[in-house]
Amino acid sequence: MRIGFIGLGNMGAPMAANLAAAGHEVVGFDTVAGAPEGVARAASAAEAVAGADVVITMLPNGAILRAVAAEVIPAMAKGAVLVDCSTVEVDAAREVAALAEAAGLGWLDAPVSGGVGGAAGGTLTFMVGGAEDAFATVTPLFDIMGQKAVLCGPAGNGQAAKICNNMILGVTMIATCEAFAMADKLGLSRQSMFDVVSTSSGYSWTMNAYCPAPGVGPQSPADNDYQPGFAAELMLKDLGLAQAAAEAADADTPMGAAALALYRQFVENEDGRGRDFSAMLPRFEERGRG
């Protein structure tokens, strides 16, 4: 396929490179970054998408998605598919989907899980909203960039799945860090804590696969001084999107709201910015109950 790729940052660049390495013709554009190996660099977003079968965007937020969509939709060929892999508001995804469909284009919102390592390794998970025919067209590309793609329903449902997933992730990481900090103060070794919880009812991804305690469990950012695999400020963004969606849907999410407040304090008023979201553990270690 001929693929236009808009947004060649930390996530987009390796995704585009993997598509090019698999033999697809990839033309990319970014306002700042250059193109990775194998990807031709266009002078504008409109130039990147001209004649493309599929256009993929990986952008920072919904406002930028709307602006890019306004530029690229008129430049895309009828019948092409626009795939947004950013994490944005559900409403933003649905607004751009309507614009794409009105222009005779296919649409998929396909936010990802797996981080920069997953993008580089081609092991991302895609949570996809949109029509089945568009999903079928893009599935071979999802197979190159990731290990799994799940069609979650109509436009916007990919974003809904992503923010629900990450609300669970944020809440669970806080609980895992709280429990480790409490175990420390109760005199329970971290290894014993891990050995018990990882094989009992406290089992979770944040404990078993991404343990926030250094030297315990598999390698994680905690073993690299909390250099970010998934930065705390990105978790803050996703929790904010989840709460905005909850408010719009009249959903009661007290734990999600509490997690948002804690990550906001951690990022904006403490030392969380630029650290992994699991660095909540040293934050709790330093605090007492008051």
Active-site residue, from 78, 148, 162, 185: 162
Which residue bears the tokens 């060649």? 8
Q: What is the largest CA-CA distance in the chain?
A: 65
Cα–Cα distance, 156 to 290 (Å, whole number): 42
Cα–Cα distance, 215 to 225 (Å, whole number): 11
Crossing angle for the helix pair 157-185 and 90-102, to the nearest 10 degrees: 160
Which helix or strand (DSSP H or E) is residue 40 part of? strand 40-41
Cα–Cα distance, 237 to 239 (Å, whole number): 6
Crossing angle for the helix pair 232-249 and 254-268, to the nearest 10 degrees: 150
Kindly report the CA angle at 50 between 49 and 53, in degrees rounded to 5? 70
Which residue bears the tokens 């950013």? 86
90 phi and psi, to 5 degrees? Answer: -55, -45
Side-chain-side CA neighbours of residue 270 (13 Å): 19
Kindly report the CA angle at 144 between 120 and 132, in degrees rounded to 5? 130
Q: Is residue 162 annotated as a catalytic residue, yes or no?
A: yes
Q: Is the Cα torsion angle 69, 125, 30, 56 positive or negative in sign?
A: negative
Q: Do residues 256 and 167 lie in contact, with contact meaning Cβ atoms separated by under 8 Å?
A: yes
- β-strands 146-151, 124-130 pairing: parallel
Q: Which residues are catalytic?
A: 162
